[in-house]
Amino acid sequence: MKWNKRIMIILVIAILATMTACKSSESSAAVQKQDETGEPKTEKGNTLSDSKAENKNQDAETAESESDSSHETTSSSEGDSTEESAQEESQSEDPKTNLAGMQSQYMKHLDETKATFEEEAELNKDYSTYELKYFEDRRFDAWDAQLNEIYGVLKVNLPTDQFDQLKEEQRLWIKSRDAGALEASETFKGTTSEHLEYSATLANLTESRCYDLVRTYMK
């Protein structure tokens, strides 16, 4: 009996030793297989930590991108708003206010033109009729240019109905001016002063018309 018990104990120990050896062999084989595949040995705790850190960086980059986008949109909106405000302010300006500001400027310019020709006439009293005719032609051209400029400014700034009235008035005035110059020249008909008087009258009437338009409409 004693021998039977000893044999059974020895068998049990042998079986346990065999099982332990098998488990150790399987564990070594698994480790070796993992090394052969080249996959990194990472612990679960480290993997989770790295994943959380990566997600945190991605969230920070997303938030920064959204902030930049929001800033650009706001800046663009503010720029558009400023531009629209400036346009509305410009459109709301009253044309009459602009004309009123121009009146003193144009009056000064007309006075300077008048003074220039008066000074030239005073210095050249001994002009011949031909020279006087040339002088009056230049004077008329200068005042006619002034008149055209003033008329153009009024065309842009006056209300449509008021400018239409001025347009008709100006057409009638031109006819009247030319007729008046012709009538004045007939006094000297057949003489060398006929054409001189015609040019001088044109210049005088055009000069007066420039002052009339500035005083009447630029206020």
Angle in degrees, 0-180, between the axes of helices 129-157 and 160-186, rounded to the nearest 10: 170
The predicted pLDDT at position 100 comes to 77
What pLDDT, on a 0 to 100 scale, did the predictor assign at position 200? 97
* Same domain for 182 and 108: yes
- Per-residue pLDDT at 31: 44
One domain for residues 72 and 98? no
Q: Quick one: pLDDT at residue 126?
A: 83
Domain membership of residue 171 as a residue range: 94-217
Residues in the chain, pLDDT under 50: 29-53, 55-56, 60, 62-63, 67, 69-79, 81-82, 85-93, 95
Domain count, the chain: 2
SS (H, E, C) the chain: CHHHHHHHHHHHHHHHHHHHHHHHHHHHHHHHHHHHHCCCCCCHHHHHHHHHHHHHHHHHHHHHHHHHHHHHHHHHHHHHHHHHHHHHHHHCCCHHHHHHHHHHHHHHHHHHHHHHHHHHHHHCCCCCHHHHHHHHHHHHHHHHHHHHHHHHHHHHHCCHHHHHHHHHHHHHHHHHHHHHHHHHHHCCCCCCHHHHHHHHHHHHHHHHHHHHHHHHHCC
What's 149's domain CATH number?
A: 1.20.1270
Q: Summarize pLDDT for 70-100 with one digit per residue, the tens.
A: 444 434 444 454 455 444 444 444 545 577 7
Q: Which residue has the tokens 């991605």?
A: 58
Supply the pLDDT for residue 21: 58
The pLDDT value recorded for residue 97 is: 53
Q: How far apart are CA 4 and CA 10, in angstroms?
A: 10
154 within a domain of the structure (yes/no): yes
Q: Same structural domain for residues 69 and 174?
A: no
The answer as to whether 105 is a domain residue is yes
Q: Which of 64, 92, 120 is the last residue of a domain?
A: 92
Q: Assess whether 101 and 209 both reside in one domain.
A: yes
For residues 70 and 140, membership in a common domain is answered with no
Residue 10, domain member (yes or no): no
In a domain, 31, yes or no: no
Looking at 32, 60, 92, the residue that finishes a domain is 92
What pLDDT score was predicted for residue 131? 93
One domain, residues 183 and 132:
yes
Judge if 57 and 140 occupy the same domain: no
Residues 106 and 143 in one domain: yes
Q: What is the pTM of this model?
A: 0.57
Pair 77, 122 in one domain = no
